[in-house]
Structures are given as C-alpha cells and as structure tokens.
Amino acid sequence: MENSQFSIAFYNVENLFDAIDGPHTLDHEFTPKGKKKWGPYRLNHKIQKLGKTIAKIGRDKSSIPPVLVGLAEVENKTVLQDLLKAEALQRTPYDFLHYESSDERGMDVALLYNKKFFQPSKSKSIPVFLYDAAKKRDHTRDILHVQGTLQGEEVHVFVNHWSSKRAGNANANKHLEILKTLEREIANIAAPDPKILLLGDFNENPSEQALQLLAAKSFNNPMEELYAKGLGSLKFYGKWMLFDQILLSKNFFPPKAKHLQFQEACIFNEPFLQNPKGPFKGQPFRTYSGKYYLGGYSDHFPVYVLLQVRAHSTL
C-alpha cells in the first residue's frame, strides 16, 4: 500500500442494544416489552444502516473502508457479531475486540479492525473509578487499550467514552479523573516514543479543559481546527459540538513521522446520515427521539482521520 491513504474512524452508534433484558443492566427499555419496543426487526434495521455507514466512511479518499473503527455504545459481543454480518461489511475482513464494563446501562466501547492491515498483539480493559459526592461509585465505561501492528508499524489504540457532559459542564471534574487514568496507562507503555491513537466520544469539545491538557503534552488534535470552523458531530442544547475526536501522538506528523503520516481529519456527515426534514433537518438522523422511533442511524456523525503509508520508509 505504498503512497496510499487509509482511514481510521470513530463512531458513537447510539444505543446498540440487543433485544434481551439483561439481569444486571438497566436495559429494559430496549426490549420488545420496554417503552422503546425494541425487537429483532428494529435491531437488524439499525445493524444494516450502521454497516452501510462504516463501509462508506472515507471512501471518497481511500479505496477501502476504515482499517480501524472505534465504537461507543455497544452492549455486548452479540451485537458486534451481528454488525460484522451486515451486508455492507461482508467484503471486509473485520474482527473486533471488546470487554464488558461495569457501566450501569451495559454500554461498552469496542474496536473493529481489518485483519489484513492490523494485527493486535495485546488488549485490555482499563476500569475508570469515579465517585459522587456521597462517595458512591459512579459506574461508567472502561477504556479499551489495544496494542498491535498497523501497516507494519507498532501502535497503541485507546478507545474512550467519557462521562456525559451534562448541562453547565457539570462533569468537568469527572473528565479530569478519567484523563488521569488514561495518562497513567500511557505512561506505562514501555516502548520509547510510542505511536498512539486516542479515539473516542470525550463528551467535551477540543477547546475544553481536559482535551486541552491532553493535547498539550504529547498529542496533536486535528479536530480542534474543525471545531474552530463551527463544525460538529452532534447537536447539544441546540449547538454543534465536536465530542467525537481522534488525537494522534506527535510522531504521526512531520518531521517525526517515518512510515505512517497524518494527512487529514474529517467529519463523515453525508446527507444520508442527516435528518431529512423538520426542525432538526441536517442534524444526525437518530434511531429514537425520546420514545418515538425514527429509524435513523445514530445521534452522532462518525469522525475519521486519513493516514498515508510513505513509500521507501524505514521502520
């Protein structure tokens, strides 16, 4: 794949639940008898739509679907297995990595990877310990850490889904605690100057405190420029937000980049992913609005970055 581009994506897929009432999670509303009336037909409809979306991400600039896709809001391995069976993904040799977290709703993160271009060697789930004012644990999503070989070069991938933003940025302190957890894990990487990709729904914009602190140390955040232009991946209280981001360690950029080099960051907001009419026209076409089934894709647009494999590079 010399002198060619490929993409790495992140997608919050909005409540990708199976239709079974889990005994230990708050998922009853996403069952046939729950208020969302979530059953096999609606699940398969969503699966096919998500598969179509993933297959199209970055295809105007790359000949293949994303090599890596970080996912948020997936319930379990069952829905991931269903997703890989989606019609639009049949020609891509995807596999996935996923661990169950202690999130109260049963929502986890995962990583899809094209086996032809990425070979994982290690992976683990990193628990995040948060507590409320009464010292009671606030169970949230774990961080997924995957180490592997991407196009012949070792990389570390972290998939994140930070605590919800809340009005008035009420969870800012929780984000700083999650940041500490992530930074500790990064500091434990033994390799000198490791190549690192941070994928996630961070529930804050690139300009906010935790993301600024993260980028200031060892990372570049190409999403910051997109946000400065007024672009976003979701609407929050009527405003465009860019919670979905991909940050890259500085060795993906000149002059340090040797083999894999950053090219461009994008929001995948094609018309088919947008609400087609009404007061929310142009916003992400979501699956539900409250209890009302819309049959859309997600309340977030995917984001992605393009990397170039440099010819004649020395690994």
pLDDT digits (tens, 9 = 90+) for 270-285: 999 999 988 899 999 9
Task: Answer for the pair 83, 105: CB distance below 8 angstroms, yes or no.
Answer: no
Q: What are phi and psi of 120, to 5 degrees?
A: -70, 145
User: pLDDT (tens digit, 9 = 90+) per residue, 119-150?
Assistant: 999 999 999 988 776 677 877 899 999 999 99
Nearest alpha-carbon partner for 67 in 160, 161, 152, 186: 152
Residue 147 to residue 122: CA distance in whole angstroms? 5
Residue 40 to residue 21: CA distance in whole angstroms? 13
Whole-number pLDDT of residue 168: 54
Q: pLDDT tens digits, the chain, 315 residues: what are they?
A: 444 899 999 999 999 999 898 877 888 899 998 999 999 999 999 999 999 999 999 999 999 999 999 999 999 999 999 999 999 999 999 999 999 998 888 899 999 999 999 999 999 999 998 877 667 787 789 999 999 999 999 999 999 999 987 655 557 888 999 999 999 999 999 999 999 999 999 999 999 999 999 998 789 999 999 999 999 999 988 899 999 999 999 999 999 998 999 999 999 999 999 999 888 999 999 999 988 999 999 999 999 999 999 865 443
Strand (E) or helix (H) holding 268: none
Q: Spell out the domains of the chain, with CATH numbers in brackets.
A: 4-309 (3.60.10.10)
Whole-number pLDDT of residue 311: 67
The strand pairing partners of 157, in sequence order, are 146, 197
Strand (E) or helix (H) holding 218: helix 209-218
Residue 175 to residue 301: CA distance in whole angstroms? 22
Question: In the numeric block, which tokens belong to residue 142?
Answer: 């774990």
Rounded to the nearest 5 degrees, what angle is found at the Cα of 302, between the Cα atoms of 102 and 71?
Answer: 25
To the nearest 10°, the Cα dihedral for 169, 164, 277, 42?
-170
Whole-number pLDDT of residue 313: 46
Whole-number pLDDT of residue 130: 84
